[in-house]
Amino acid sequence: MPASTDGRIAVKTVRSRPSWLRALGEESPPEQLQIAGARHTLSEVYKHDSWAATALYRGPDGTPRIVKIHRKAPLLFIPMRWLGRRTARNERRLLETLAGLDGIPALAGEVDQGGPAMDNAVAREFVPGHPLGAREAVPDSFFPALQSLLDAMHARRTVYVDLHKRENVIVGDGSQPCLIDFQISLLWPSWLPRGALFRIFSRSDDYHLMKHWARCRPDQCGVDTAALQRRIPWWIRAHRLVARPFRELRRRILVLVGVRSGKGRVETEAFAEHALRDITQPRSGAA
């Protein structure tokens, strides 16, 4: 796909996702809803993919908050509301378990539209900053602080799982690390010993941390990306044997239905996932 004059990818040859590939189907995030009993107004929709719609809302005093509405629309003829409730509950429980840790956004309260709480919605406090760049030269304190955050999470019987996506790592306005998007993170049951399986998940977090560390601050971490490639844990290699073909199939389907172009990479999508957008900063002129 040709690039635009400002260097960004042009997306005019693709169209928006069809309703069956959108978490809310034909709907969009509501213009108004209540968070912790206070009315909030939609400011911007950051992302609306197959799993959730993520949007910025502002309260009566202009305070920004992020609301993530998980899947409720059927997938063709398959009911999916149950999945949205489950992933929202998981994200909410993770944020409750990790409350108080530096680098974890606080829950903002229940979400409703003037009735019962929306069991597929999660509201959290806004995190000012930007997603970690591919080779961003962050300050010396950034990755040690992120390592400490992961250690504290593991101590609370949680594993992040999704750290391979650098867009989930936020560089705060004060250059402090923050993690967002706990949709698939794991809260280890208290009755289940933290044995070999827990160590596999937690070491996967550590491996992906080192991958970002080596790319952004090779002068500091003591290992380069080539060395990390030779040391990929066996369970990550096994996961990739399944995940990569699935990802390629998914991309081909998105190209086939006209949502993406070329090789189906996310940057060709008209409403690109937040991997390529700054989802922590309100746009200029936003309501």
Q: Are 205 and 159 a contacting pair, CB within 8 Å? A: yes
Which tokens hold the place of 136? 């961003």
For the chain, the three-class secondary structure string (H helix, E strand, C coil) is CCECCCCCECCCCCCCCCHHHCCCCCCCCCCEEEECCEEEEEEEEEEECCCEEEEEEECCCCCEEEEEEECCCCECCECCHHHHHHHHHHHHHHHHHCCCCCCCCCECCCEECCCCECCCEEEEECCCEEECCCCCCCCCCHHHHHHHHHHHHHHCCEECCCCCCHHHEEEECCCCEEECCCCCCEECCCCCCCCHHHHHHHHHHHHHHHHHHHHHCHHHHCCCHHHHHHCCCHHHHHHHHHHHHHHHHHHHHHHHCCCCCCCCCHHHCCCCCHHHCCCCCCCCCCC
- Give domain limits for the chain: 37-276
Residue whose C-alpha is closest to residue 181's, from 142, 132, 137: 132
Give the per-residue pLDDT at 14: 64
Q: Please say whether the beta carbons of 214 and 224 come within 8 A.
A: yes
pLDDT values of the chain reduced to their tens digit, one per residue, 287 residues = 344 444 444 444 666 777 888 999 999 999 999 999 999 999 999 989 889 999 999 999 999 999 999 999 998 889 999 999 999 999 999 999 999 999 999 999 999 999 999 999 999 999 999 999 989 999 999 999 999 999 999 999 999 999 999 989 999 999 999 999 999 999 999 999 999 999 999 999 999 999 999 999 999 988 877 777 777 877 777 877 777 776 777 778 777 777 777 876 766 676 544 434 444 444 433 33
Counting every residue, how long is the chain?
287
Q: Which pLDDT belongs to residue 240?
A: 76
- Give, to the nearest 10 degrees, the angle between helix 234-256 and helix 196-216: 70
> What pLDDT score was predicted for residue 147?
97
Encoded tokens for 64: 């920004």
Q: How many CB atoms lie within 10 A of CB 73?
A: 19
Domain 37-276 belongs in CATH node 3.30.200.20: yes
pLDDT for position 285: 35
The torsion angle over the Cα atoms of residues 173, 125, 23 and 1, rounded to 10 degrees, is: -10
CB atoms within 10 A of CB 12: 10
Return all residues near 65 (Cβ < 8 A) that are at least 6 apart.
Answer: 35, 40, 56, 57, 58, 59, 108, 123, 124, 125, 126
Angle at 172 between CA 61 and CA 138, to 5 degrees: 160
Confidence (pLDDT) at 270: 63
pTM: predicted TM-score of the whole model, two decimal places: 0.83
For CA atoms 152, 238, 243, 79, give the dihedral sign. negative
